[in-house]
Amino acid sequence: MSLRTTRRGGAQQPSTTGYLVVGLVVLLAVAAAATWGLRGSGRASYPDEISTAEAAARRGNGAFILDVREPQEWHQVHIPGSTLIPLGALASRVNEVPSDRDVVVVCRTGNRSRQGRDILRRAGYTKVTSMAGGIQAWVAAGYPAVSGP
């Protein structure tokens, strides 16, 4: 894009209109990126972590709930309909996690779920987040939980 120039005092100078057009284009691009939630990677932004209330809402809207705890922990208590893939096995089992749905990663207190979220993001998942507080916060908030296999 070349800026129009005007002659002032024998020297060519860019016109004010050219600067305004460039400024407007930059402003529109920034506004569009903010509206569409784009980051430098070009992927839609997704929260790193969500509350138990938000996780419950996403679950109600069909999100895939991925529990990354160990089997004995999951048998003690878990979110109904959740899928267990222990954190240590997640990298080799990412193909078992749907990429076309929201994914909420859960653990006991929220530490392992952040690691699980990051594993999925590195594998190309964009609609993945971690639930703050883990299953302990979920149960404390009174959301449904079950035990057993």
Residues with a known catalytic role? 107
Query: Is residue 78 within 8 Å of 145, Cβ to Cβ?
Result: yes
Q: Is 15 left (phi over 0), alpha (psi -120 to 50) or beta?
A: beta
Sequence letter at residue 124: G
